[in-house]
Amino acid sequence: MADRLGLAKRDVETARSVSNADRVYNIADNAMLQAARALMFAEGYRTAGGEGQHKTVVQFAESALGRSFEEEVRFFEKMRVKRNRAVSDTAGIVSEVEARQAVEFAERFISIVENALGK
């Protein structure tokens, strides 16, 4: 669990040092994925191998964090979908503003997870 939070924080710092907006967005999304996985692992859950793991983690975060963080989880899901497009389909679809917002959101999401874990 602490390892995942460490990876999440590392990714936020890395995202701040990258200049390509698509990459920044991808790294920020990965930071949130690692934080959500820390939450999942703390509850004794793991994802099954194969496709769909990222979506499963987002769905778990929705369940674990509850309605009070519905907007944050919805934003996480939107980022997941856009990240998939940026990585697999279309380069240059992330603006500088979106990239910056993604990093700020990732920091906030990590804090939400830390609070949920009592850190």
Q: Work out the mean pLDDT of the chain and round it to a whole number.
A: 92
Torsion of CA 19, 110, 30, 91, to 10 degrees: -40
Segment 103-114 shows an average pLDDT of 97
Interaxial angle between packed helices 53-65 and 96-116, expressed in degrees from 0 to 180 and rounded to the nearest 10 = 50
* Tokens coding 7: 């990876």
Distance CA 107, CA 103 (A): 6
Q: Is the pTM of this model over 0.85?
A: yes
Domain at 2-116, CATH from 3.40.710.10, 2.130.10.10, 3.40.640.10, 1.20.120.330: 1.20.120.330
The pLDDT of residue 47: 84
Q: What is the pLDDT of residues 3-56, one digit of tens each?
A: 999 999 999 999 999 999 999 999 999 999 999 999 999 999 988 877 789 999
Domain boundary assignment for the chain: 2-116
